[in-house]
Amino acid sequence: MLKSGDRHGYELMDRIEKITGKRPSSSHIYPFLSKLVDKGLLDERKDGRRKVYRLTEEGESFAEEKTKSFGEIIEASVLEKIEECENCGCEIFSGGYEEKGEIYCCEHCASN
């Protein structure tokens, strides 16, 4: 969320609510942001009455690393569920057609 630019706490709360359907409370978000500032992952500056947060270089590296790790976890869980059609070799993620214990992408492949 901060990768696309500076944000104040309420903007972050709005974005989280939009993504998850649940709005975090300010009593949770601001202490968390303060910890990220303390760890050097965010910079904080005043803009009138609001605090605006920006990723530091270290924060950007951390976010990229975590995004990559998360992507690898998702990929591994998806790859685990992919079957291969016994006839044409195409990858089947969902559905497929099973006949005599073999997996096929469609009835046509099963009949060949």
CATH number of the domain residue 40 falls in: 1.10.10.10
Question: What pLDDT is attached to residue 49?
Answer: 92
Q: Please check whether residues 104 and 52 belong to one and the same domain.
A: no
pLDDT in tens, 7-40: 999 999 999 999 999 999 999 999 999 999 999 9
Indicate whether 16 belongs to any domain. Answer: yes
Q: Would you say the pTM of this structure is higher than 0.75?
A: no
> What is the per-residue pLDDT across 80-105, written as a single tens digit (0 to 9) for each?
888 999 999 999 988 888 888 899 99
Same-domain check for residues 47 and 22: yes
| Domains held by the chain: number | 2
Q: What is the pLDDT of residues 38-77, one digit of tens each?
A: 999 999 999 999 999 999 999 999 999 998 998 888 888 8
57 and 11 belong to one structural domain: yes
Domain that holds residue 89: 82-111
Rounded to whole angstroms, how far apart are CA atoms 29 and 34?
9
Q: 41 and 26, same structural domain?
A: yes
